[in-house]
């Protein structure tokens, strides 16, 4: 692979950089850079600004209203957006359910849902995990019984990210209790305004309301919202998880946070000199930077495969493992660099001072402990790699 960018690609980078710096609201940028929560309006507002510019679906083909960019252009776009502090485009529509509908949905579903996802007109969330069914997702118990022209859904989903904002949820449900675990699952699209749906917040240890429980009590879902074939949802779920794990890698955001780490370490003192000049600390920073470069190259390879209409392979598990480890290492090193000042925890405090200026590092550190669990725990991903690459 040629790792140098062509003149056209460099020109595109400058175009993206100029747009982001001119149009990204400063309040949104500052909140992202300091690790503070951003609102639904701020997330959707940025997506809509990109839509107005024709960049609302950077990973989609032109056939479905996307930009038609190749892997390199997608990478440059994400890198420049992350570097300046733009919020990441929500993956639930663009990178998860959107590709599933493209690959397995019928024409009516494509016409109904894809344009609204691309234009940020609908906010989606993911209904996979349940109490007792996380990494062992095939053991899920939420059931959907067909009754005429609709399904009746009953059950509970948990750890549902940003469900409090969502217009729609895509769900794995059990439609054949008698079949073996993977064979009796279907993939439903459910309007969150449907009677019988209850969203209950889960406040995480960093004080944030990011995840939720979602309860379904006799929720009626039209049969037309079934994606693909009944009882074949496990196939679609695996396809989606490959895209999710690729997205979790977060190379652009990690590059931004690496730069932030170096700035913090340059300001902090140890034995009368900047911490970044301490040999032991500098070695740890260098190791993270090396790992991030390797991840970046691997990510480009996977994006190139996706652009060729190939489903993500075992490399997506590798991206998920290394990407989340790097995110956690960066958060830990920032805490170490700040010392006791790193214990500042308030996500939305207006407090002044050196600790507050760096943002809620302790809250970010705690929040990032989950990255090696969601999307399939890293231990499970290592098993997948062993099975697929070593043919065990």
Catalytic residues: 244
Alpha-carbon dihedral 154, 199, 124, 111, rounded to 10 degrees = 50
CB atoms within 10 A of CB 11: 11
**Could you write out the three-class secondary structure of the chain?**
CCCCCCHHHHHHHHHHHHHHHHHCCHHHHHHHHCCCCCCHHHHHHHHHHHHHCCCCCCCCCHHHCCCCCCHHHHHHHHHHHHHHCCCCCCHHHHHHHHHHHHHHCCHHHHHHHHHHHHCCCCCEEEECCECCECCCHHHCCCEEEEECCEEEEEEEECCCCCHHHCCEEEEEEECCCCCCHHHHEEEEEEECCCCCEEEEEEECCCCCEEEEEEEEEEEEEEHHHEECCCCEHHHHHHHHHHHHHHHHCCHHHHHHHHHHHHHHHHHCEECCEEHHHCHHHHHHHHHHHHHHHHHHHHHHHHHHHHHCCCCCCCHHHHHHHHHHHHHHHHHHHHHHHHHHHHHCCCCCCCCCCHHHHCCCHHHHHHHHHHHHCCCCCHHHHHHHHHHHHCCC
Q: Parallel, antiparallel, or unpaired: how do β-strands 209-222 and 150-157 relate?
A: antiparallel
CB atoms within 10 A of CB 337: 25
**Which residue's entry shows tokens 């209850």?**
198
Q: Which two tokens stand for residue 50?
A: 């990109």
In angstroms, the CA 391 to CA 106 distance is 35
């Amino acid at each position: 692979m040629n790792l140098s960018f062509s003149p056209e690609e460099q020109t595109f980078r400058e175009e993206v950089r100029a747009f982001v710096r001119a149009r990204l609201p400063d309040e949104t940028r500052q909140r992202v850079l300091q690790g503070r929560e951003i609102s639904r309006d701020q997330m959707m507002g940025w997506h809509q600004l990109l839509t107005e510019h024709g960049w609302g679906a950077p990973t989609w083909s032109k056939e479905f209203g996307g930009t038609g960019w190749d892997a390199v252009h997608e990478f440059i776009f994400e890198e420049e957006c992350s570097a300046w502090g733009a919020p990441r485009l929500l993956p639930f529509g663009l990178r998860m359910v959107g590709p599933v509908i493209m690959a397995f949905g019928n024409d009516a579903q494509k016409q109904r849902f894809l344009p609204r996802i691309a234009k940020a007109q609908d906010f989606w969330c993911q209904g996979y995990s349940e109490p007792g069914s996380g990494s062992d997702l095939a053991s899920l118990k939420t059931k959907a019984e067909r009754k005429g022209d609709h399904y009746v859904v009953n059950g509970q989903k948990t750890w549902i990210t940003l469900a409090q904002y969502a217009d729609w949820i895509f769900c794995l449900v059990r439609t054949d209790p008698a079949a073996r675990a993977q064979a009796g699952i279907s993939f439903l699209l459910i309007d969150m305004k449907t009677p019988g749906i209850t969203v209950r917040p889960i406040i995480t240890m960093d004080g944030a309301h990011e995840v939720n429980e979602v309860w379904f009590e006799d929720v009626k879902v039209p049969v037309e919202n079934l994606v693909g074939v009944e009882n074949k949802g496990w196939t679609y779920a695996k396809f989606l998880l490959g895209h999710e794990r690729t997205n979790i890698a977060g190379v652009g955001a990690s590059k931004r946070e690496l730069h932030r780490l170096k700035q913090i370490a340059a300001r902090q003192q140890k034995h009368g000199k900047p911490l970044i000049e301490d040999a032991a600390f500098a070695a740890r920073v260098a190791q993270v930077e090396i790992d991030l470069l390797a991840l970046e190259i691997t990510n480009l390879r996977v994006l190139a495969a996706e652009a060729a209409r190939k489903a993500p392979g075992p490399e997506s598990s590798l991206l998920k493992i290394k990407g989340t480890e790097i995110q956690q290492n960066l958060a830990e090193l920032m805490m170490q660099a700040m010392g006791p000042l790193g214990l500042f925890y308030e996500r939305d405090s207006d407090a002044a001072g050196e600790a507050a200026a760096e943002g809620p590092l302790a809250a970010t550190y705690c929040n990032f402990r989950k990255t090696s669990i969601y999307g399939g725990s890293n231990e499970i991903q290592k098993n997948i790699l062993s099975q697929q690459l070593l043919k065990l």
